[in-house]
Structure 1
Amino acid sequence: MTNSITRRALFAGGASALALGALAACSSPGRSSSTGGATGTVSYWLWDSNQLPAYQAVAKAFERENPDIRIKITQLGWNDYWTKLTAGFIAGTAPDVFTDHLTKFPQYADLDVLYELDELEATAGIRDADYQSGLAELWKGRNGHRYGSPKDWDTIAMFYDEAVMEKAGVTPEQLAALEWNPEDGGTFERMLAHLTIDGKGRRGDEPGFDKTDVAVYGMSSNGSGGDGFGQTQWSPFTGSTDWFYTNANPWGNRFRYDDAGFQKTISWYFGLADKGYMPKYGVFSTTTGPDVQLGAKKVALSFNGSWMIGAYGNLPDMQVGIAPTPIGPVGHRASMFNGLGDSITKQARNPEAAAKWVAFLGGATAQQIVGRAGIVFPARPEGTEAAVAAFREKGFDVSAFTGQVAEKTTFLFPVTRNPGDVQALVQPAFDDIYANGKPVSTLTGMNDQVNTLLQLT
């Protein structure tokens, strides 16, 4: 895709909130007046250019089974996708079907621009049990209706340069057994210290190490995490303390960023930058993602999501390994379990034709086609199995990602009302901690603001 690094990042804030406000002021497009059977052309938007060939193959398979329906796929870069989608809702030019995100659908559902999939014949039979546990439930609104058909899923793991680890005397078995705690960082922090090298070749666990002159950091930087619930930054650590973002999932109405244990973990996490083991804010450009940092040999390991396997695998002159997230103080490792979905807009020219396409996208045939492409893990177990086999053929052991699902050490993505407004408060607070050195205790005031917002809406 054009911008893989931000695939799961929360996209909202000022400009988007203003656009959604304009959308709310418009009357709802309502049900399409075209009701002449499941025929015609269905427009479908996605943002991942890497997946485009797979979905073109899915479209051909669908058209063979449904000769009266044609699928027109449009791929847009992440930076343009949501802006153009919101503009399309306002102007009446939105697609029939689009790839949706959990940080978007609640607001779109409240604005009544999405079909409830259970009201359309072809998608009414979507069953939670057909997908990896928990994924389908995430796409149900506060009213219990479904607004998205599960598309794929992702978890988090550690990517690393095998040559760097070998030179440091670190084995894959050692990486898989790492533990952490917020007191002294455990074996994980000691590993980071050993992997960090200053400008004179001294490691972070050796006498004389200069944290102000670091040539190779133990761990990559990926921003403050405020724009996406820390998914690829601190969430594997906070999750492995059994902390969760809100008081309920899905559809919590009170955040818990004021929790003492959470704040202690965040303090430890950003403290790694103060020790020189992780880059401080501004060391790398905000467009220089963790994969690029690893490829440039500026870091030894990198946390990232399973959607980035291909990007790391394509790094030149590097053999990349994958290790699971560290085991936390409560005795298990953890990863956020996130997934995309396919939604139908109320501007759909033929809702039943669109529903047939969405039902096919979530079915076994399509999910196995996507799985065999070896890019993401499809939501259905049979699609996941196809992806695992495809990754294996490419030389990737992806058990660090799938193991979290098999061992039930995942936690679901938090879903709340008004996610754009929530993010507009959360992101600056985390940025201030990472970039400006503000105390972690400032999260308490931000948390109060967020909870007041949720109670008022």
Structure 2
Amino acid sequence: MKKILTGVAAAAAIALSLTACGGGSSASADGEINYWLWDANQLPAYQQCATDFTKANPDIKVKITQRGYGDYWTTLTNGFVAGNAPDVFTNHLTKFPELLKTKQLLSLDDALKDSPVDLSAYNEGLADLWVGQDGKRYGLPKDWDTVAVFYNKTMTADAGIGDDQMANLSWNLEDGGSYEKTIAHLTVDKNGKRGDEPGFDKNNVAVYGMGLNGSGAGMGQTEWSYLTGTTGWSHTDKNPWGSHFNYDDPKFQQTIAWYAGLVNKGYMPKLETTVGASTAEIFAAGKSAINVNGSWTIGQYTTSKGVDVGIAPTPTGEDGKRSSMLNGLADSIWAGTKKPAAAAKFVEYLGSAACQDVVGAKAVVFPAVKTSADKATAAFKSEGVDVSAFTTHVKNGTTFLFPITENAAKVDGIMSPAMDAVVAGKKDASSLTLANEQVNALFK
């Protein structure tokens, strides 16, 4: 991997013997447990997992609830306060530190004691993400994601750009490389002039070369992190549990200046015009030629009616290597569960190849278990979708792990408006130095 975690190596080794017994009590593994998730596309797979689990464990019933992402976290937070949160729930790395701090998570070291879980079965680094600063584990990995370039093959063909060219784009800080040249050539104004042709009207664009997800706030997962990752820049001094951010680094600010420059040149839409809009839907409507997005959106893009979609890997940097943030979800147990033994047994099953093979076969996401992820790749292929642009990062070790820190919400509260101002053209990228000072002040 591009960034290797060292701070949790000892904890990960200790945690290799996780088991499926009750959360530090003699409670029996029976009764009904509640499991929550937010992705409707994955609901059928997990319903099948729950059915298979109950068949093997008839004394435990599983009730699954699915809610949209925003409503999911609001309802879950209310459940923590009211004391009626689900026994098991899908956890996200942006929420993990705060849930740990407020003691809403049950340690799996305490909850799982008898049958070992082989953490080496998961893709490298994923298990490390869910170890707290206390050295204990609070989640078993369920899936992972990277980013890639979705493009409209009709538009690239009309522009004389072949699939091989799209698969071998390069980027640099000096002039944006072939990546910027391609984005410019794919941009077309309302008079039919391309972005790299004389007379191009950047104020009247019909098709943008690049779609805009947003400013990326402090993480930039799908917006710019795949570019900053090629420069050697990292979000924090260490990961996980870094306590110093690097938004004042010249390489970071130069990258963001380049990114914001695409808007100024007319190659990417203005930030204010994208508020509340779905980038994928704008792409499907033929208003943008390229979108960089995560592997969780594969189905959304490839099922766009009337659009022949290609998927290319992210561009190489000056060192000739690609880069992508590697994010991963996990299943966690609520500390207030009244059925810790049953919940632990279900979490162990969710983290096993038995369940993740089912998830992989649905061709929606890449499961955390390596062999199950291979099944997902095969399932996508059977549907005519080549997902190698996403898997190449894992195969070639060009990933860096999602930053895990305390004060995540506060960091976002500072960086979101600061980044919006830069991408909107209201402030220079150098203004991020002040934002960085404000962020680092949170850790003093």
Q: TM-score, normalised by structure 1?
A: 0.90
Equivalent residue, structure 1, for 2:300: 311
Letter in 1 for 2:242: G
Letter in 1 for 2:404: V
Measure the CA separation in 1 of the matches of 2:372 and 2:254. Answer: 39
Equivalent residue, structure 2, for 1:230: 220
Letter in 2 for 1:445: L
Measure the CA separation in 1 of the matches of 2:348 and 2:88. Answer: 11
Measure the CA separation in 1 of the matches of 2:298 and 2:48. Answer: 21
Q: Is the 8 A contact 1:197 1:214 kept in 2?
A: yes
SS of the residue corresponding to residue 254 of structure 1 reads coil
In the alignment, does 2:245 pair up with 1:255?
Answer: yes
Equivalent residue, structure 2, for 1:454: 443
Measure the CA separation in 2 of the matches of 1:103 and 1:122. Answer: 28
Measure the CA separation in 1 of the matches of 2:412 and 2:114. Answer: 31
**Aligned with 2:64 (options 73, 79, 82):** 73
Equivalent residue, structure 1, for 2:403: 414
In the alignment, does 2:358 pair up with 1:403?
Answer: no
Change in 2 beyond 3 A, CA 1:115/1:150? same
In the alignment, does 2:106 pair up with 1:115?
Answer: yes
Question: 1:161, CA displacement in angstroms?
Answer: 1.1
**Aligned with 1:355 (options 334, 340, 344):** 344
Instruction: Give 4+ residue runs of structure 1 displaced > 4 Å after superposition.
Output: 31-35
Question: 1:126, CA displacement in angstroms?
Answer: 3.4
Question: 1:291, CA displacement in angstroms?
Answer: 0.9
Question: 1:283, CA displacement in angstroms?
Answer: 2.5
Structure 2: where are the runs of 5+ without partners? 1-21
Measure the CA separation in 1 of the matches of 2:114 and 2:89. Answer: 15
Change in 2 beyond 3 A, CA 1:441/1:53? same
Measure the CA separation in 2 of the matches of 1:154 and 1:361. Answer: 18
Letter in 2 for 1:279: P
Q: Is the 8 A contact 2:259 2:423 kept in 1?
A: no
Change in 2 beyond 3 A, CA 1:189/1:255? same
**Aligned with 1:92 (options 65, 83, 87):** 83
Letter in 2 for 1:56: Q
Letter in 1 for 2:434: G
User: Could you give the per-residue CA deviations for residues 48-106 of structure 1, whole angstroms, max 9, x where no partner exists?
Assistant: 01100010000011111111000000001112111111111111011000000001111
Measure the CA separation in 2 of the matches of 1:101 and 1:163. Answer: 36
Q: How does 1:292-311 map to 2 (within 5 A)?
A: 292-311=281-300
Measure the CA separation in 1 of the matches of 2:157 and 2:235. Answer: 37
Measure the CA separation in 2 of the matches of 1:46 and 1:157. Answer: 25
Q: Is the 8 A contact 1:185 1:268 kept in 2?
A: yes
SS of the residue corresponding to residue 178 of structure 1 reads coil
Measure the CA separation in 2 of the matches of 1:78 and 1:125. Answer: 32
In the alignment, does 2:324 pair up with 1:335?
Answer: yes
In the alignment, does 2:126 pair up with 1:135?
Answer: yes
Equivalent residue, structure 1, for 2:43: 52
In the alignment, does 2:153 pair up with 1:162?
Answer: yes
Equivalent residue, structure 2, for 1:15: none
Question: 1:122, CA displacement in angstroms?
Answer: 5.3
**Aligned with 2:171 (options 171, 180, 195):** 180
Measure the CA separation in 2 of the matches of 1:77 and 1:385. Answer: 28
Equivalent residue, structure 1, for 2:198: 207
Equivalent residue, structure 2, for 1:103: 94
Measure the CA separation in 1 of the matches of 2:330 and 2:98. Answer: 15
Q: Is the 8 A contact 1:290 1:304 kept in 2?
A: no
Question: 1:289, CA displacement in angstroms?
Answer: 2.0
Q: Is the 8 A contact 2:208 2:268 kept in 1?
A: yes
Q: Is the 8 A contact 1:196 1:217 kept in 2?
A: yes
Structure 1: where are the runs of 5+ without partners? 1-30
Equivalent residue, structure 1, for 2:186: 195
Measure the CA separation in 1 of the matches of 2:227 and 2:118. Answer: 32
Letter in 1 for 2:340: P
Moved more, 121-130 or 351-360: 121-130
Question: 1:125, CA displacement in angstroms?
Answer: 3.3
Question: 1:32, CA displacement in angstroms?
Answer: 8.2
Measure the CA separation in 1 of the matches of 2:172 and 2:115. Answer: 46
Q: Is the 8 A contact 2:23 2:110 kept in 1?
A: no
Letter in 2 for 1:349: K
**Aligned with 1:268 (options 241, 258, 266):** 258
Q: Is the 8 A contact 2:27 2:340 kept in 1?
A: no
**Aligned with 1:427 (options 416, 422, 426):** 416
Measure the CA separation in 2 of the matches of 1:406 and 1:32. Answer: 36
Equivalent residue, structure 1, for 2:235: 245
Q: Is the 8 A contact 2:231 2:318 kept in 1?
A: yes
Measure the CA separation in 1 of the matches of 2:229 and 2:215. Answer: 16
Letter in 2 for 1:296: A
User: Could you give the per-residue CA deviations for residues 348-371 of structure 1, whole angstroms, max 9, x where no partner exists?
Assistant: 121011000000000010010000
Measure the CA separation in 1 of the matches of 2:117 and 2:426. Answer: 47
